[in-house]
Structure 1
Amino acid sequence: MTDPDSARQLKLDRFLPYQLSIASNAASNTIAEVYRSQFGLKITEWRIMAVLGDAGASTQRELTARTLMDKVAVNRACRTLEDRGLVAREPNATDGRSHHLALTGAGRSMYDRIMPLALRMEQQLFASFSAEERETFTRLLARVREQAGELDL
């Protein structure tokens, strides 16, 4: 006879949202320690810097949409980065109620030092994947993200 708790665990191990969360936490927690110890950044702060480094100046609303983080977390991370001189806030000429945030010279310098580490850690995460598996995994994750946005709840 199967233990009810064991049966629940087996179902949870096959539940996609749980698996995605656990995989994300496993990767993020390891990487977060590097960002914290070497650069004094929290994951939320690095995500903001990564988006700004990739996309350029953005409003907090755009950052919230791109990172799918809570707007309070985005606001807090932006304030911390601004206080540290890594991000600068400028008025948005097209919308006086918002501001554009952009990496400062110091922020760009830190971003440029972190990116090689981030890419190396990503490479290690995928070390056991073939190139084809990695491409398939990336495509499937994009489909999951897309489908999640279309859920009718």
Structure 2
Amino acid sequence: MDQAAPSSGKDDALVLERFLPYRLAVLAHTVSGALSTIYRDRFDLTIPEWRVLANLGREEPSSSNRLAERGSMDKAKVSRAVARLTEAGLITRETDSRDNRLIVLRLSKRGRSVYQRIAPLALAWEADLLEGLGDEERAALDAALAKLQARAEALKGEAGG
């Protein structure tokens, strides 16, 4: 038998369209891209910029490192988003009073206003997306996502990463 032949369909075949990590990545990309039209078209924000604003809207003050963790973004993307948001007057940067090496980020008055206008739009978009699911399905999805997140974090810890 030719070693380069495609899989015969056995259980060991990797079918990306059925591989959970691939499906979750594609879904996340699709959902994030569709939602981004709200804040891109109306507020001229990129996905990383929105994530920084949304995280600061939830928990401030914060640091770039904390925002990178919370938003599952690399530090370079957060740094670029912070620079652009600061330039646009949507966030402020200050040196931490206890540690001059740390930069503290906060929403500016204008940034808070933008956040308060986008948040309801994002929540309405989410409600529209979830409208295709019944109450039990939503609860099951939420529980499954929480379990998968916890298990992925545990596996990451076991692998030393």
Once the two structures are superposed, what CA deviation does each residue of 1:99-147 show, in whole Å capped at 9, x if it has no partner?
Answer: 1101000000000110111001100110111112112211211222222
Q: TM-score, normalised by structure 2?
A: 0.86
Aligned to 2:46: 42
Match of 1:33 among 9, 15, 37: 37
Aligned to 2:17: 13
Runs of 5+ in structure 1 lacking a partner? none
Aligned length in residues: 151
Normalized per residue, which structure has more helix? 1
Give RMSD over aligned pairs: 2.0
- Worse overlay, 5-14 or 142-151: 5-14
After TM superposition, list the pairs within 5 Å mapping 1:1-153 onto structure 2: 4=6, 11-151=15-155, 152-153=158-159
Q: Distance in 2 between matches of 1:89 and 1:25?
A: 30
Q: Distance in 2 between matches of 1:43 and 1:17?
A: 21
Quickly say closer, same or farther: Cα 1:9–1:106, change in 2 above 3 A: farther
Structure number with greater Rg is 2
Q: Distance in 2 between matches of 1:143 and 1:72?
A: 29
The answer to whether the 8 A contact 2:38-2:122 is kept is no
Quickly say closer, same or farther: Cα 1:11–1:143, change in 2 above 3 A: same
Quickly say closer, same or farther: Cα 1:24–1:95, change in 2 above 3 A: same
User: What's the CA shift for 1:95?
Assistant: 2.3
Which residue identity lines up with residue 136 of structure 2 in the other structure? E
Q: Distance in 1 between matches of 2:37 and 2:56?
A: 21
Deviating above 6 A after TM superposition, structure 1's stretches of 4 or more consecutive aligned residues are: none
Q: Distance in 2 between matches of 1:136 and 1:56?
A: 31
Q: Secondary structure at the match of 1:23?
A: helix
Which residue identity lines up with residue 94 of structure 1 in the other structure? R
Q: Distance in 2 between matches of 1:100 and 1:130?
A: 42
Runs of 5+ in structure 2 lacking a partner? none
